[in-house]
């Protein structure tokens, strides 16, 4: 099924590949890529504005996660993605660099105490995990009219009677509340299922989950997200679409005050930025030689390009004039 957008790029109900091809041949639609997914934009007013409910099923995990977009009649999209796990290490590195920088400073300065934690404080690593899920839901919402979300409810035990302990005992619990608030803010219905309930749904449908967590396969993680979505919206007793897109969070090298290691003479060079010659890093561009690639760092009026799938650097001397800017990405397609 091909996502369909109106002239204002608002999502309509998707259509089959055959119908999308026919519309483009007649000139009633034109192709459009929404961050890596092929869509069509109608060049006329739609014949009807009838909409079905569409649900996003989410199977969260520590290393890998599965997401499914499904209507009653069709499974529209399956996505398996690596979880965002690098933030904790980056925060520890930032802390050690800050301590070393303060130690090198000959002028004594007292520590600032303006970094206070509120009741709703979320650890940066947890916030990054759930923000990544939110970015995927927003991506789906640009292509489909999402109305519901089905989430596997990760459970963590807390101490009875210990109010202060229970508030931020588990980053998992705090992250779920953060995601619940997001879903409520954008007006979606949220359905939550315990892990054992997901297993029972999967067993009733006669489906098996692969034990190889890192394997790129529908039955590794997306089988659970599909079961959750199907349980909410119904429509199928057997799988109708196991085609899966595999993603990995795009790693960005944020701006730092200095490089970590000094050069000859103890000089520490300034390091990086989130933009290269005015273009945000991670932007998908098309180059005359390297094709589809991602924007990296910059030096001497030129930018580096990285592979669209592996993020490996292709060159360091690309000119802005040779680039066609397409869109900004937050993930790599594996």
Domain end marker among 209, 231, 249 = 249
213/77 same-domain check: yes
8/70 same-domain check: no
224/298 same-domain check: no
What is the rounded end-to-end Cα distance, in angstroms, of the chain?
Answer: 21
Domain end marker among 249, 281, 308 = 249
Q: Can you give the pLDDT at residue 330?
A: 80
**pLDDT tens digits along 238-267:** 999 999 999 988 877 666 666 776 777 777
d(CA 56, CA 78): 10
Instruction: For residue 58, give its domain range.
Output: 54-85+119-249
Q: Can you give the pLDDT at residue 135?
A: 93
The count of domains in the chain is: 3
In a domain, 313, yes or no: yes
Find the mean pLDDT for residues 94-111.
73
Task: Please report the sign of the dihedral spanned by the C-alpha atoms of residue 281, residue 284, residue 285, residue 286.
Answer: positive
76/137 same-domain check: yes
207/326 same-domain check: no
Q: Residue 210 carries which DSSP code?
A: -
Provide CB contacts within 8 A for 185, sequence distance 6+. none
68/133 same-domain check: yes
d(CA 106, CA 25): 72
65/171 same-domain check: yes
Phi, psi of 294 (to 5 degrees): -110, 145
**pLDDT tens digits along 183-215:** 999 999 999 999 899 999 999 999 999 988 889
Q: Are 74 and 96 spatial neighbours (Cβ–Cβ below 8 Å)?
A: no
In a domain, 105, yes or no: no
129/216 same-domain check: yes
User: What kind and span of H or E run contains 166?
Assistant: helix 163-167
Bigger pLDDT: 151 or 332? 151
In a domain, 60, yes or no: yes
Specify the 3-state DSSP secondary structure of 306: strand
79/224 same-domain check: yes
- Of 34, 25, 49, 45, the closest CA to residue 2 belongs to 34
Domain end marker among 249, 267, 282 = 249
In a domain, 93, yes or no: no
Q: Are 179 and 67 spatial neighbours (Cβ–Cβ below 8 Å)?
A: no
Q: Can you give the pLDDT at residue 312?
A: 86
135/274 same-domain check: no
d(CA 14, CA 144): 8
d(CA 120, CA 122): 6
**pLDDT tens digits along 271-301:** 667 788 888 888 889 998 998 888 888 888 8
Token pair of 297, please?
């760092």
**pLDDT tens digits along 139-161:** 999 999 999 999 998 766 666 66
In a domain, 138, yes or no: yes
DSSP helix, strand, coil percent of the chain (3-state; round to 5): 25, 30, 45
In a domain, 283, yes or no: yes
Find the mean pLDDT for residues 106-113.
66
In a domain, 200, yes or no: yes
37/134 same-domain check: no
223/270 same-domain check: no
In a domain, 147, yes or no: yes
pTM (two decimals): 0.84
Give the CATH number of the domain where residue 180 resides: 3.30.420.40
d(CA 317, CA 310): 19
């Amino acid at each position: 099924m091909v996502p369909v957008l109106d002239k204002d790029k608002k999502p309509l109900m998707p259509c089959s590949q055959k119908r999308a091809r026919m519309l483009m041949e007649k000139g009633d639609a034109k192709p459009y890529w929404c961050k890596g997914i092929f869509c069509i934009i109608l060049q006329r007013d739609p014949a009807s504005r009838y909409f079905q409910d569409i649900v996003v099923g989410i199977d969260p995990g520590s290393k890998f996660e599965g997401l499914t977009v499904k209507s009653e009649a069709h499974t529209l999209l399956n996505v398996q993605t690596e979880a965002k796990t690098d933030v904790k290490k980056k925060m520890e590195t930032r802390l050690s660099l800050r301590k070393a920088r303060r130690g090198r400073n000959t002028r004594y300065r007292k520590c600032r105490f303006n970094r206070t934690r509120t009741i709703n404080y979320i650890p940066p690593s947890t916030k990054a995990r759930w923000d990544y899920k939110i970015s995927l839901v927003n991506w789906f919402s640009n292509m489909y009219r999402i109305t519901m979300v089905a989430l596997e409810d990760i459970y963590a035990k807390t101490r009875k009677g210990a109010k202060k302990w229970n508030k931020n005992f588990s980053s998992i619990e705090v992250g779920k509340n953060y995601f619940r608030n997001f879903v409520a803010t954008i007006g979606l219905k949220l359905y939550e299922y315990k892990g054992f309930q997901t297993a029972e749904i999967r067993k009733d449908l006669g489906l098996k989950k692969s034990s190889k967590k890192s394997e790129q396969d529908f039955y590794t993680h997306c089988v659970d997200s599909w079961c959750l979505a199907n349980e909410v919206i119904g429509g199928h007793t057997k799988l109708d679409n196991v085609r899966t897109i595999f993603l990995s969070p795009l790693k960005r090298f944020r701006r730092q005050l200095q490089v970590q290691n000094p050069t000859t003479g103890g000089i520490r060079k300034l390091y990086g930025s989130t933009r290269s010659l005015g273009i945000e890093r991670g932007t998908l561009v098309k180059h005359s030689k390297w094709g589809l690639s991602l924007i990296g760092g910059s030096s001497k009026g030129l930018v580096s390009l990285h592979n669209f799938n592996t993020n490996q650097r292709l060159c360091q001397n690309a000119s802005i004039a040779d680039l066609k800017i397409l869109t900004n990405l937050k993930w790599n397609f594996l």
